[in-house]
Amino acid sequence: MMEEKEYSRVEELEGILDEIGAKRIFLVSGKGSYKSSGAESKLFGILGEHTRFYDFDVNPKIEDVRRGISLFKSRDYDLIVGVGGGSVMDMAKLIGVLSAQSRDALKYIEGEREIGGPGRPVVAIPTTAGSGAEATGFAVVYVNGKKYSLAHELMKPEHVVLDPSLTFTMPRNLAAVSGMDALSQAIESYWSVNSTEESSRYSREAMQIILENIVDSVNHNEEEARRAMVGAANLSGKAIDTTKTTAPHALSYTFTTELGISHGHAVGLTLGQVLKYNAGVTERDCNDLRGFNYVRQRISEVCYFLGAENPEVASEKIKELMEEVGLETDFKKLGIDYSVIDKAVDGVNIERLKNNPRLFEDKGGLKKVIID
């Protein structure tokens, strides 16, 4: 697979199209963000002949993917351009790879079939600073309400355009939830059992940049802060591309599907509790081959980045940060009662849970962490 190329201005897409020789473009975008971000006006005259696909759920479903593939295969397109947030990036990647496979998309999403080869090239142009999906080789899709993550090296976009100006008009709440997603990814990557020296460099830098800039980005819409957040989100994406996410992400999906809580918000709701839980790791329940002292050191370093002297204070700082950027943390006000928590535990994403550095004894233990 060719190495991912990065660009800093959306106008550079013209050079990418010339390099590839692309004449017919399949554009995947958000419903409203394509215009509100300024991408539409910036790309006018660059895209040329193209078809735009934007009629899909913010949490893409298998039906959305099938419709996208069908539309894509209706003509001989040269290139896919994804312009939008994490869901748009995921949809572009899914269509790019799955349209080139011989069987129905569901066969690959559920793991019955292996990806057989590459599809058309994808250019990823994020308009939010959060998911880092432009830097990852996996994508999320829902099948009958159940979340799946399709992962393959061929899913990673060949070209990435990180143009901060596309985030300058991002609404406050979107800036908040996307920023929390990026922070959660960076922290989870740092303590993941799959962390490496390289992924740790990415996540350390992402944590530091996000914590320095998220409040100014969200509350004051400062351009420099938003520029910084775009880079940090990309770094967090590069980090989780290696490590994958852990318990907070594993627990978050029910909050989104049952109550409509935005993904980044949902992830942040248990980040502090899981941090405290992981800090108590022992030799008996350590899930990291590098040992429980290594894990404890990692958690200690996360606390340091958060400006906290211990895990309890760190957890409280995460809560305070969420509230400062306008994200509700009270479970009762959000509608998260015991029945929802039971569903979150019953439907927990096992694959993501396996990446957590401390094991959970059973579902009761997992539930206790959430309501702690």
Say if residue 189 is in the same domain as residue 327.
yes
Q: Are strands 50-53 and 122-126 parallel, antiparallel or unpaired?
A: unpaired
Which residue among 126, 149, 166 closes a domain?
Answer: 166
Q: Residue 48: its pLDDT value, please?
A: 86
61-98 per-position pLDDT tens digit: 999 999 999 999 999 999 999 999 999 999 999 999 99
Mean of per-residue pLDDT scores for the chain: 96
pLDDT score for 352: 83
Average the pLDDT over each of 3-12, 153-162, 190-199, 327-336 and give the range with the smallest value.
3-12
Q: What is the pLDDT of residue 1?
A: 47
Specify the pLDDT at position 42: 96
In the block, residue with structure tokens 């992400």: 249
Residue 254's pLDDT is what? 92
- Which tokens sit at 229? 């957040």
Domain boundary among 119, 146, 166: 166
Is 0.85 surpassed by the pTM of this model? yes
Give the structural domain span for 274: 171-371
Last residue of a domain, one of 134, 166, 198: 166
* Domains of the chain: total: 2
For residue 372, the surrounding DSSP H or E stretch is none
Q: Are residues 331 and 190 in the same domain?
A: yes
Task: Average the pLDDT over 264-276 and give the result.
Answer: 98
Question: Can you tell me the mean pLDDT for 142-164?
Answer: 94
24 and 146 together in one domain: yes
The H or E element that residue 124 is part of is strand 122-126
Q: What are the pLDDT digits (tens) for 226-261?
A: 999 999 999 999 999 999 999 999 999 999 999 999
SS3 content of the chain, % helix, strand, coil (to 5): 55, 10, 35
Residues 160 and 176 reside in one and the same domain: no
The predicted model gives 127-133 an average pLDDT of 94
How far is CA 217 from its chain centroid? 18
Q: Are residues 263 and 332 in the same domain?
A: yes
* Residue in 228, 267, 231 with CA at minimum distance from that of residue 246: 267
